[in-house]
Amino acid sequence: MERAGAAIGIVIDNTKESADSIIMSDDGYGIGIEIPSMLITQDDGEKLKDWLSQADDEELSQIAIMAQFDISRPDNRVEYDIWLSSSNDKGLDFVQDFAKVDDKFGASVLMTPHYKFAICEDCTAKQRAEHCYGDGKYCAVDKDHPRLSGRQIIGEDLRQICIYNKYYQKESTRHLWWDYMRHIHINCYGSANIDCSENAHKEVGIDFTATKQCAADSWEGVDIDFSKKVNSSKVYNPLIENELTAYKKVGTHLFPSVIINN
């Protein structure tokens, strides 16, 4: 499309559905493409195609299409999200390399890390016990690290979220999240279990007990001991729910990914 001279790509949905909640993302073959693109509904696409098929040469010569991509900065600060997983080596590579850039930006930017969680209603009881909490409500899996269970990944994701929430908002301590991520990447080899996490806390100077308690306290919904609580379908985790909501809004299928100003 770009090689043919198009200034923008308009993709028509092949299903009758609302396009508001659909996110178009690079499937890995978009390197080098510079023109923007947008998705429109099947109904709008049919109207556009019908008009083009009936328009005469004069009408076609006068056609003009206006497209607007709003990337607002209401607080004069760039906000960017990094989508990753605590077990994703490429994501940790990116975080390690980008730490110096974020430090130079300082208060002019706000970075928010986001983590991909899955829902697995069709998983077997064995899979749920190994890779899920909440009876399949919150799951994770990494085929590149088969020895690392989904529960271990979720545990580390929650610890990283807790560290971010506690330290990143203050400019004097925001480096602690980056320092922790760097230590995890260098020393845990993509398998950040709780022992390696504890060592990272000690090296960076973060209170491991407080982080561990933050992750444990994030599980709500039933008033029973922690080991049984996380297996109940009634369990609720606001930290993970925030990630699931963010994924529905602006999530991506590629990791790592950066989303700027939504």
Closest CA to 176 of 151, 213, 211, 215: 211
* Residue 40, strand partner residues: 12
How many Cβ atoms from other residues are within 10 Å of residue 250's Cβ? 14
| Reported confidence tier of residue 169, pLDDT bands at 50, 70, 90 | confident
66 token code pair: 């206006």
240 or 91, higher pLDDT: 240
63-111 residue pLDDT tens:
888 887 766 666 778 889 999 888 888 888 889 898 989 888 888 889 9
Res 83: pLDDT = 92
134-157 residue pLDDT tens:
889 999 988 888 888 999 999 999
- Is the model's pLDDT at 223 over the cut of 60? no
Yes or no: say if 45 and 74 are a contact pair by the CB < 8 Å rule. Answer: no
Amino acid, res. 99 = A
Yes or no: say if 160 and 183 are a contact pair by the CB < 8 Å rule. Answer: no
- Is the model's pLDDT at 201 over the cut of 90? yes
Amino acid, res. 48 = L
* Residue 101: exposure state from Cβ atoms within 10 A (0-12, 13-18, ≥19): exposed
- Is the model's pLDDT at 32 over the cut of 80? no
* Residue 125: exposure state from Cβ atoms within 10 A (0-12, 13-18, ≥19): exposed
Closest CA to 81 of 48, 114, 103, 59: 114
State the Cα–Cα distance between residues 217 and 214, nearest whole angstrom.
Answer: 5
Helix (H) or strand (E) holding 132: strand 132-133
What 17-26 contacts at long range (C-beta under 8 Å, 24+ apart), as own/partner pairs, is 17/41, 17/42, 21/248, 23/250, 23/251, 23/252, 25/252, 25/253, 25/254, 25/257, 26/254
Res 18: pLDDT = 82
Res 224: pLDDT = 47
How many Cβ atoms from other residues are within 10 Å of residue 208's Cβ? 16
State the Cα–Cα distance between residues 220 and 230, nearest whole angstrom.
Answer: 9
251 or 49, higher pLDDT: 49
- Is the model's pLDDT at 225 over the cut of 70? no
- Is the model's pLDDT at 198 over the cut of 50? yes
Report the percentage of the chain scoring pLDDT > 70: 91
Give the list of residues 6+ apart from residue 75 with CB closer than 8 angstroms, or none: none
Q: What's the CA angle centered on 215, arms 214 and 219, to 5 degrees?
A: 105
Res 253: pLDDT = 76
State the Cα–Cα distance between residues 4 and 39, nearest whole angstrom.
Answer: 19
